[in-house]
Amino acid sequence: MNMVGMFSIAFSLFLLMDPIGNIPLYIATLKEIHPKRQQWIIFRELIIALFIIIVFNFVGDELLNFLNVTQDTVQVSGGIILFLISLKMIFPPEKIHKPDQLKGPEPFIVPLAVPLVAGPTVLAAVMIYSHQYSGTLMITAICIAWAVSLIILLLSPFISRLLGTRGIVACERLMGLILTMIGIQMFLSGIHQFVTGHSF
């Protein structure tokens, strides 16, 4: 097993899950619920998110093969997707979810599991990576990214007090910058594979 590749994928998925950026939304959603119950809800929602992500990992490779998508296409499209996502992290649009809109009964699946953790960007990335790496490596990478995200979200009240709003924003933008470099490298690798694999 390629350990470097595994941790590279895990780190990319962790950035896409964006647990630090999701801390304010989790706190706003669960603020009317008892703290002990909050911990159980976060754990339950993350388990659901993990299940959904793993399902997409197994479906993704078959779907890409069915569509007859080549590896260089996967690399280029994956790089573009990661680059666009990272731009939103560095230059975030105006928040759609406001605390008043998140009030209500105890959340189930939506929005804490989907789309805040197992969002379309994470699922798309998993499908792309699954076409390139073995099942064991991918599952391990997913579990590593998920476990770190779980710990951060379980500690969200403490992290929120420690970093403050400005600190959370700064961390999210730093992660976006790193994700930009990963996306560009993936794009360049795809272009290189395409050029070397085709004679003109």
Give the integer Cα–Cα distance in Å for 59 and 69: 14
pLDDT digits (tens, 9 = 90+) for 150-184: 999 999 999 998 988 889 889 988 988 988 988 89
Please give the Cα distance from 28 to 58 (Å, whole number).
33
Nearest Cα to Cα of residue 25 among 6, 42, 3: 42
pLDDT digits (tens, 9 = 90+) for 66-103: 878 777 887 788 788 888 888 888 888 765 444 444 45
Residues 56, 53: Cα–Cα separation, whole Å: 5
3-state secondary structure of 196: helix
What residues does each domain of the chain span? 3-197
Q: Report the greatest alpha carbon distance in the chain.
A: 65
Q: What is the dihedral of CA 63, 79, 95, 25, to 10 degrees?
A: 70
pTM greater than the 0.85 cutoff: no
